[in-house]
Every structure is written in structure tokens, then in C-alpha cells.
Amino acid sequence: MRIPLWLLGLTLAAGCPAPNDTDDTDAADTDADTDVVDTDVVDTDVVDTDLEDGTLTVTVSLDDGVVCDGEGGDCVGDLFVGVFVDDPLLEGGAEPLTGLSQEDADLSAGDVVVGPSESIPAGTYYVAAFMDENGSGTMGPDEGDLVVTSSAEVVIDGDASAELTLFRF
């Protein structure tokens, strides 16, 4: 399964090496003159110190106008949910902080619950999703996929939840 482009940053956000990253050096191995940037530092504009870190569970449903008849699509596919600092539908190219996914999710049978996520720093975030219903495996939604038309704003203060509705693209 391929990772959609707007979720591609998840491997880097999680501290995983890039697919072709063969550099085994650690920041501690660098020269003292070199400026080392800690990529694990949390953006202080996002964190609210009065809030508590937590997890996120997302319930995904279909718009009433979506038909799952097999001709337009069967409403089954890999479901991707991204958690963003900036609204990805307003800020083109926004990179996700983290994400969730479920292979072979079946929205024709009703809502699908994805999560809970790994721990997310306290703060306000935006959640968006799409389902690769046509199985294209492209790096993001394309024609024939189910997508959100607006993201959900969610405040992480302990465990949180969000609801998203998908429409046919």
C-alpha cells in the first residue's frame, strides 16, 4: 500500500528515516561547529500548557448523497486520516503532524472508527481524511475517491474524538 502525499510527512514526523536515508550518523556525531536542529521540538504556538496531551479517535461516515452500488464505487478502500497544525484545505501543502489509517475500511456497512492515535501534544488541530476507494494507490485523493470537503477542528486535551463526513470526488 502506498502512502498518500499529504500523509507522506508522517514517516519523517514520527522520526523514521526517509526511504533512501542511509546516513547512520547521529546528531551527537557531528562536529561541534555544526548547528544541530532538533526536529522533535514541538511548535510552542500549538501547545497550550493548560491542556493535557492525549489521543485522537476519528469516526468517519458517508454523506447521505453517496451511493455504494458498485457503479460509482463500493465505498470500500484504504482510509487515511491526517492530523494537521494548519487546516490542510485552506493551507495548500500543509504537512501532517501524525496520521491514522485503516486498510480495506467498509463505509457501505456504516461508520468506521479509526484510532486511537499515538499520543498527540495538547493543542488545537485540524483533521482531514480520504478513502482510496478506486484502489489507484496514488499519493492523495484522485477522481473516484471519497474525500472530506471541510476539515474538523479538534482540541487535544486528554483523549479526544472527531467526526468526518466523506463525499465522492
DSSP annotation string for 7-48: HHHHHHHTTPPPTT------GGGS-TTS----TTPPPTTT--
Q: Is the pTM of this model over 0.75?
A: no
Q: How far apart are CA 148 and CA 80, in angstroms?
A: 11
pLDDT in tens, 92-118: 778 899 999 999 999 999 999 999 999
SS3 107: helix
Q: Where in the chain are the domains?
A: 5-20+43-168
pLDDT in tens, 5-36: 444 333 233 333 333 333 444 444 434 343 43
CATH topology for the 5-20+43-168 domain? Immunoglobulin-like (2.60.40)
Contact 148, 128 (CB under 8 A): yes
For residue 158, is it left (φ>0), alpha (ψ between -120 and 50) or beta? left
